[in-house]
């Protein structure tokens, strides 16, 4: 019994020493704060075979070389969504309806599939927009929201992504179709 106890002690202290000296001990998990999306990174990026040190708690995104939205990896997109889009768009949607949007989630924009990491946009669960005559149908049905989408949501979202907002002359840029399916002309 005694022998066993001291053996355990030796093992324990050896371990303690190993942990204390070996800087290579794995870091603690980042606290389960990872969003559902990361569990299903459906776009493997072979060139992204990062060394281990890129994994632990990504608290300091490298500000220096911030890639453009279109060049971001899946993980970088998720990071931008969490750190920029959520707070910024959360505030924007609260302006529209503080009660309804007291707590926006990834699913507010991405739909219920967000839980399984389905982040494709546009989101077919949002109302399909008929753009005929300046969204006349929607203006009639819900002028307040439609205007807010035009005046606030689209521009703020484009800014959060760091992409140009929709330009009606060139028909280029981030617009309603960035989130909604579109029809009509
Ligand atoms: C305010 C709306 C909004 C919210 C909230 C939001 N997103 Fe997004 N997200 C978008 C839009 C819009 C795009 C598409 C941008 C583009 O490529 O035009 C997008 C794209 C993405 C993409 C890239 C999809 C792809 O395949 O290219 C990922 C991943 C993503 N979001 C994850 C998240 C996660 C995770 C959350 C919650 C932490 C979140 N998003 C919350 C609007 C939102
Ligand atoms: C960043 C993503 C995003 C963009 C861009 C966006 N919307 Fe929306 N829109 C939403 C979300 C999210 C809802 C649903 C809110 C809900 O169901 O609670 C919505 C709802 C709507 C509704 C439904 C209103 C109702 O309840 O009847 C209309 C109409 C609408 N949007 C029009 C537009 C128009 C027009 C544009 C472009 C000028 C636009 N949206 C751009 C995210 C977006």
Q: Is 92 in the pocket of ligand 1 (CB under 6 A)?
A: no
pLDDT at 185: 79
Instruction: Return the closest-CA partner of residue 148 out of 96, 103, 183.
Output: 96
Nearest ligand 2 atom to alpha carbon 145? 24
Q: What is the block-wise mean pLDDT of the chain (185 residues), using blocks of 10 residues?
A: 49 45 47 47 54 54 76 97 98 97 97 95 97 96 98 98 95 97 91
Using a 10 angstrom Cβ sphere, with 0-12 exposed, 13-18 middle and 19 or more buried, the burial of residue 154 is: buried
Cα(75) to centroid(ligand 2), Å? 26
Give the atom of ligand 1 at the shortest distance from the alpha carbon of 161.
15
- Asked whether 121 lines ligand 1 (CB < 6 A), one says yes
The predicted structure's pLDDT at residue 151: 97
pLDDT number for residue 66: 82
Q: How far is the CA of 148 from the centre of ligand 2 (A)?
A: 8
Ligand 2 centroid to Cα of residue 180, in Å, is 7
**Tell me, what's the pLDDT at 15?**
45
123 lines ligand 2 (CB under 6 A): no
pLDDT for position 42:
56
For ligand 2, say whether the CB of 126 is within 6 Å of any of its atoms.
yes
**111 Cβ contact list (under 8 Å, min separation 6):** 118, 123, 124, 125, 126
Q: Provide the CA 110 distance to its chain's centre, in angstroms.
A: 10
């Amino acid at each position: 019994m005694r022998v066993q106890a001291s053996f355990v002690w030796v093992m324990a202290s050896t371990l303690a020493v190993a942990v204390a000296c070996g800087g290579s001990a794995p870091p603690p998990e980042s606290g389960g704060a990872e969003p559902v999306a990361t569990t299903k990174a459906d776009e493997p990026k072979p060139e992204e075979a990062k060394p281990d040190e890129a994994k632990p708690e990504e608290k300091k995104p490298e500000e220096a070389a911030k890639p453009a939205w279109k060049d971001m990896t899946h993980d970088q997109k998720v990071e931008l969504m969490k750190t920029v889009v959520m707070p910024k768009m959360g505030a924007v949607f609260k302006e529209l309806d503080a009660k309804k949007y007291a707590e926006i989630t990834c699913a507010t924009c991405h739909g219920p599939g967000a839980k399984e990491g389905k982040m494709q946009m546009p989101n077919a669960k949002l109302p399909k927009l008929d753009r005929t005559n300046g969204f006349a149908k929607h203006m009639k049905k819900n002028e307040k929201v439609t205007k807010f989408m035009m005046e606030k949501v689209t521009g703020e979202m484009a800014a959060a992504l760091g992409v140009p907002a929709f330009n009606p002359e060139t028909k280029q840029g981030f617009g309603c179709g960035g989130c909604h399916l579109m029809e009509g002309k």
